[in-house]
Structure 1
Amino acid sequence: MTYAFILFGLSIALLALRVNLFVLLLIVGSFIHLVWGDAELLYIVEDMWIALDKEVLLSIPLFLICGSVMGRGAIAARLIEIMTALTSPLPGGLAVATVMTCAVFAAISGSSAVTLIAVGSIAYPALLAQGYDKSFSLGALTTAGTLGVIIPPSIPMILYGIATETSIIDLFTAGILPGLFLMTLLAGYSFFVNRHMPRERFSLTRLLSALRSGIWSMLMPVILLGGIYSGYFSPTESAAVALAYAVIIEVFVHRELRLPDLRDVAIETTTMVGTIFPVLAIALSVNLLLTAHQAPAHLADWISGFITSKITFLLAINVLLLIVGCVMDMISAILILAPLLLALGRVYGIDPVHLGIIMTVNLEIGLLTPPVGINLIVAMTAFREKFGLICRSVLPFIAIMVLGLLVITFVPALSLILL
């Protein structure tokens, strides 16, 4: 027990010093295993192995590699051309096309950062060249990039499904309408703000030309999501199919990538996976131990003594997650909080799938809030603009996202009607 107190004190000191999250989780995980795991640190290794011994985890690096391949290729550019040809008769058509492209690209890559970089590198210069306000352009791209989190396939949804043993297929299905709803809100706002912009005459020739050059890009989400929902692919198999399709299209059809380029893509993705899986192993091992000792159930009983209303609980969860999103990255938040919130949600009769969508949208907004808003940092690097300008640019879009969050929270049918 003396070692347990030493580890507890060390974990508090490391938290105060803001050390690497993996190191902190390792110390805290060791402490928990010493206190509740019969004082055997060997158990943390065993639990880490059990936690990672899941086939569905293979889908995460596969989707990340797929997103990197598409980010370096021509799929994003061809999607933008198709969407622009469709929306050209609208005032602010390019802005609306940008939001729609982010949604379609998100349905392929599963990553908000990849969506932002791939679409933003092309759309941002085009928006500025056509006279769109810089602040609006930054805000629209930075926010629309987060659609990669809620529109399936979604890496955070995969992690939520693993952490809570919820069907990943059900989570993907439940994310379709909320994702389209948020896309519609962002596109509607883009149209309203830019209603003074000149419109173009619709050109069927331009649209047909865009479809001809981009048909392989448009087929990808159809094949990917069609395979998942028809039952032909599991989430892991769909990730493998998406990767194979992306490589074939970019290397042999679009010819925007060379086979030697795949080496750089693999190294880049390995670095990303190397930051995710150690945290994943520790967090899931701790969750296994806490669940075995019914810690989530005890916490649920304790909190239910303070909050008696389902509406109050939903509001409290949203406030908590919005705050957590400001100070914790999405992956860590899901792995640490999802099992606890699931136990609480059951007390108030909240469907686990609906809770997963609520959590995902909350943490999606967290991608736009400092100090650890990943999309803000990615946008600052990709667009070479000041961090303060990017933070100001997303404020109206955050308000729209919060409005969408409230609708998704209190209209569960939006998430569950397709199940």
Structure 2
Amino acid sequence: MSTAVLLTLAVILMLVLRQNLIVILMVLGGAVQLFYSDGELMFMAEDFWAALDREALLSIPVFLLCGSIMSRGAIAERLVNVLKQLTGSLSGGLGVATILSCAFFAAISGSSMVTLLAVGTVLYPALKEQGYSTPYALGALSSAGTLGVVIPPSIPMIIYGLVTETSITDMFLAGIVPGLQLTLILASYSAWVNRTIPRIGFDLAEAGSAISNGIWSLLMPVILLGGIYSGYFTATESAAIALAYALAVELFIYKELTLSQLWDAVIHTTQLLGGLLPIVAIAATLNMVLTTEQVPGQLADWLSAHVEEKWLFLIGLNILLLLVGFFMEIISALLIMAPILLPVAVAYGIDPVHLGIIMIINLEIGLLTPPVGINLVVASQAFKESFWTVTRSIVPFVLLMLIVLLLVTFLPELSLIFVS
């Protein structure tokens, strides 16, 4: 029996035994080092360091901490209140506010999980109180929470840029139009499906008061994204600026964040990093070996010989990534799949930035599909509903997201319009 077959069986066995992904990648990476690259296990430690010794990686813990602080302080709540007041007179106004709140918060947190928890904590009770159905409330928050993956600054975009050596700023620019498309289609659906719910009405005085109280929350995405897109600061610098801004606003202006909550945010971020960074290091090691052995290039040659049409490849790519999203969370999938798929996509004339957006939207949908479905798990725990109740609620939203996926896949200019 060949080594490749044995490794495949070993991985399947570990998956059946529900082993941690870090363990699986460690075993796989070590085996590949030994059997395919004539290396030694000690080289893995060097590869770990090489994978983590990157300046851009600094932005990930900083963005996570920033989002965690805002979700515990007043920035998220005041941002949501502004959007509630501005959309109250619209059909399904609070539903529209839910989508827009997730989009705005995504633009300052970079994380889908943080977005879901920060906005959901405020809006889920409000949606239920105003007569919105439980399936809609669960589906809207779970699906709109994933906007943090597509709307820059996005942690998955940073990961993709690192593992494929693609410009992170270009990835951020490429996410603008798809992010707006997703926001618009989800908000439009929210307005239509909730059209029979009584409107709150628009009160100029209350709206003015909400804007006045939330002006510091509204300025944050303007400063952050404006600085990135103008080239005034890099993605890593933007993370530091976002954190400094959030701390200053929460501690010295709003004064609602306690030191205990700040410590909780630090602990929560550390726990997330404890699961994330080892995966980054180990997956990078595996990818280095695969690249050295020219596995991606061989795969590209094989596909080019057997699949001539670009559109067929794109359809197959989407199907593959949707299936991957069923079983892997987004960071792990990007770390493992992106270096393999990039040379294949380039062979078909697909821009690396365009490929990144296709991958991220596919894997964004994976956040909403069982059995892994991270957002489904988070929503079921946060809102005290069963996993399958949440799963059923996201079906119409996933269908809408698939429409955007097809548009982005076959109209690359939607992603590349702002990319130089």
Common topology (TM > 0.5)? yes
Question: Does structure 2 conserve the Cα–Cα contact (< 8 Å) formed by 1:8 and 1:31?
Answer: no
Q: Deviation string for 1:340-375 (max 9, x for gaps)?
A: 111110111001001100000000000000010000
Alpha-carbon distance in structure 1 between the residues aligned to 2:95 and 2:3: 58
Q: 1:13/1:129 Cα in 2 relative to 1: closer, same or farther (>3 Å)?
A: closer
Give 1:257 deviation, angstroms: 0.8
Look up the match of 1:191: 191
Name the structure 1 match of 2:417. Answer: 417
Q: 2:90 corresponds to which residue?
A: 90
Q: How does 1:290-309 map to 2 (within 5 A)?
A: 290-309=290-309
Q: Distance in 1 between matches of 2:304 and 2:4?
A: 30
Deviations 1:276-333 (A, max 9, x none): 0111101111111221222111111112222111111111111111111011111110
- Name the residue aligned to 2:278: 278
SS of 2:306's equivalent in the other structure is: coil
Q: Relative to structure 1, is the Cα distance of residues 8 and 368 closer, same or farther in structure 2, using a 3 angstrom cutoff?
A: closer
- The corresponding residue for 1:268 is 268
Write the distance in 1 (CA, Å) between the matches of 2:412 and 2:204: 40
In the alignment, which residue of structure 1 is the partner of 2:51? 51
Give the letter for the 2:118 counterpart.
Answer: A
**Residues 1:131 and 1:3: Cα distance change in structure 2 (over 3 Å):** closer
**How many angstroms apart in 2 are the aligned matches of 1:309 and 1:24?**
35
Residue identity matched to 2:301: D
**8 Å CA contact retained: 1:325, 1:366:** yes
Aligned pair in 2 of structure 1 residues 31, 223: CA closer, same or farther (>3 Å)? same
- Residue by residue over 1:87-145, the C-alpha shift from the partner in whole angstroms, topping out at 9 and shown as x without a partner, is 11212101001100100000000000110111001101101111111111110111000
- Whichever residue aligns with residue 328 of structure 2, its letter is M
For 1:142, the equivalent position in structure 2 comes to 142
Residues 180, 9 of structure 1: CA spacing in aligned structure 2 closer, same or farther, 3 A cutoff? closer
For 1:205, the aligned partner's letter is: A
Q: Secondary structure at the match of 2:175?
A: helix
Question: Within 5 Å, which residues of 2 pair with 1:200-215?
Answer: 200-215=200-215
Q: CA deviation at 1:13?
A: 3.4
Structure 1 residue 11: Cα displacement: 4.4
Residue 101 of structure 2 contacts residue 119 of structure 2 at CA under 8 Å; is this kept in 1?
Answer: yes
Q: 1:73·1:257 contact (CA, 8 Å) conserved in 2?
A: yes
SS at match of 1:89: coil
Partner-residue secondary structure (3-state), 1:397? helix
The offset of 1:47, in angstroms, is 1.4
Q: CA 1:46–1:83 in 2, change beyond 3 Å: closer, same or farther?
A: same
Cα distance in 1 between the residues matched to 2:244 and 2:314: 41
Q: Does 1:331 align with 2:331?
A: yes
Alpha-carbon distance in structure 2 between the residues aligned to 1:315 and 1:86: 40
Counterpart in the other structure of 1:360:
360
Number of residue pairs the alignment of both structures matches: 418
1:222 is aligned to 222
Distance 1:418 1:332, change over 3 A: same
Residue number in structure 1 paired with 2:125: 125
Question: Cα 1:329–1:198, aligned 2, differ >3 Å: closer, same or farther?
Answer: same
Once residues 260 and 398 of structure 2 are traced to their aligned partners in structure 1, the CA distance between those partners, rounded to angstroms, is 40
Letter in 1 for 2:348: Y
Q: How far apart, in 2, do the equivalents of 1:8 and 1:390 lie?
A: 33
Runs (4+) of structure 1 exceeding 3 A deviation are 2-13
Q: For the Cα contact (< 8 Å) 1:110–1:151, is it kept in 2?
A: yes
Q: Is the 8 A contact 1:4 1:35 kept in 2?
A: no
Residue type at the aligned position of 1:273: L
CA distance in 1, matches of 2:87, 2:191: 10
Q: Which moved more, 1:398-407 or 1:228-237?
A: 228-237
Structure 2 vs 1, CA of residues 82 and 12 (structure 1 numbering), >3 Å: closer, same or farther? closer
Matching of residue 72 in structure 1 with residue 72 in structure 2: yes
Quote the residue 2:167 is aligned against.
Answer: 167
- The aligned counterpart of 2:236 is 236
Could you tell me which residue of structure 1 aligns to residue 312 of structure 2? 312
**Which residue does the alignment assign to 1:397?**
397
Instruction: Note the residue ranges of structure 2 that are not aligned, 5 or more in a row.
Output: none
| Residue 10 (structure 1) shift | 4.7
- Give CA deviations for 1:254-276 in whole Å, capped at 9, x if unaligned: 11112343222111111100000
Q: CA deviation at 1:39?
A: 3.2
Residues 30 and 44, structure 2, Cα contact 8 Å, conserved in 1: yes
Unaligned runs of 5+ in 1: none
1:346 is matched with: 346
Letter paired with 2:366? G
SS at match of 2:26: helix
CA contact (8 A) 2:72 2:261 kept: no
Identity %: 57
Counterpart CA distance in 2 for 1:400 and 1:171 is 23
In 2, distance between residues paired with 1:386 and 1:4?
Answer: 40
TM-score by length of 2: 0.96
CA RMSD of aligned residues (A): 1.6
CA contact (8 A) 2:11 2:24 kept: yes
Name the aligned partner's letter for residue 113 of structure 1: M
Which letter does structure 2 place at the counterpart of 1:393? S
1:155 corresponds to: 155
For residues 197 and 6 of structure 1, what CA distance do their matches in structure 2 show? Answer: 58
SS in structure 2 at match of 1:305: helix
Match of 1:386 in 2: 386
The separation in 1 between residues aligned to 2:271 and 2:77, in whole angstroms, is 26
